[in-house]
Structure formats: C-alpha cells, structure tokens
C-alpha cells in the first residue's frame, strides 16, 4: 500500500514548492508579500527542478528601475557541461512598473529590505514570493519563542485534560 501525503487545504494544485526561506520568518517581521517571476537560463531551471537552491542569504535590490535577486545560490547543473550558468549571479525579477513603484520603492525606507520567502513553480513557471521585511531585534525573537512555548504547553495541558 502506498502512503498518501496530506495536502494543505489552501495549497494550489498547480504550485510546487522548490524551497522556502524559513530563516527569513525568524529574522524579519514580514510587512507585505508579492509574487514575481524570475529570469533564468535553461540549466538553472533544470537545477531548480531537482530542488537544489539556497535562499538563506539572498535579498532583492532595486537597480535602474528594475528589481534584482542578489545572493541566491543555484548550483551548476552537472549534465549541462559547457553551457552551465554562474551559481551566484544576480537574477532579474519580473514586476510591472507600478508594482515596482508601489512595493519595491517602499524598501528604500529606513530599516526595510526585500527578502525572498519562497521559490516555487506555478503552472510550469518559476516564481519567487518576495517579502517587504523589517529586521527583528533579539528581544522580539525571544518574545516570539516564549509565546510559541507557552502555546505548546497549553496544548499539551489541554490534551492531558481531555484524556
């Protein structure tokens, strides 16, 4: 018998997650999110289909009216021989001009940055979920951790009480 994986009720059937930047949710307050396309070469897409990509140190930057993904590591595809790509190159993100003005220009404010939260395939196209984030202080991180622990203890107490 095969085991079936339980799917999220709000998960899109046309969406396949490649990687998530879980560290971003720990290090930043996420103020706003936006989905955008990404310009890739063929060997990069093949590497993404394998699932080898590193978003943990990546961020987005506005340059000359365009948004670029910087620091995203997509390793070389072993089968691509001489037609391979550079693993750490800057990649252009696809946003409309009004989206760049509304969303990305807010990142120019003091203390805000654009961080990739998730990379996924949606209807066969590579997409990046970009978040407008503000950095957390250490005491913020401790408060969130303390609240999660209190919630966990409360759930455990409720489960013991029900039994």
Taking only the tens of pLDDT, the chain with its 163 residues reads 444 455 555 667 777 888 888 888 878 888 888 999 999 888 888 888 888 888 888 888 888 888 999 988 888 887 777 777 777 888 899 999 998 888 877 877 777 888 999 999 998 888 999 988 888 777 777 888 888 888 898 899 888 887 7
Mean pLDDT for all residues in the chain: 82
User: DSSP per residue over 88-146, as a string?
Assistant: T--EEEE--HHHHHHTGGGGGSTTEEEEEEEEEEETTEEEEEEEEEEEPPHHHHHHHHH
Q: For each of the domains in the chain, give its residue range(s) and CATH number, in order of start.
A: 15-136 (2.40.280.10)
């Amino acid at each position: 018998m095969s085991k079936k994986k339980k799917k999220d009720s709000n998960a899109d059937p046309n969406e396949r997650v490649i990687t998530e930047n879980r560290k971003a949710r720990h290090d930043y307050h996420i103020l706003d999110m936006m989905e955008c396309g990404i310009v890739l070469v063929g060997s990069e897409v093949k590497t993404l289909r394998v699932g080898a990509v590193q978003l943990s140190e990546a961020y987005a930057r506005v340059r000359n009216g365009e948004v670029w993904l910087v620091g995203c590591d997509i390793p070389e595809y072993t089968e691509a021989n001489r037609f391979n790509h550079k693993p750490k190159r800057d990649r252009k993100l696809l946003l409309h001009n009004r989206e760049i003005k509304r969303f990305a220009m807010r990142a120019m404010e003091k203390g805000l940055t654009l961080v990739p939260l998730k990379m996924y395939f949606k209807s066969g196209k590579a997409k990046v979920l970009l978040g407008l984030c503000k950095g957390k202080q250490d005491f913020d991180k401790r408060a969130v951790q303390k609240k999660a622990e209190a919630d966990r203890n409360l759930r455990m107490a409720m489960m013991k009480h029900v039994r």
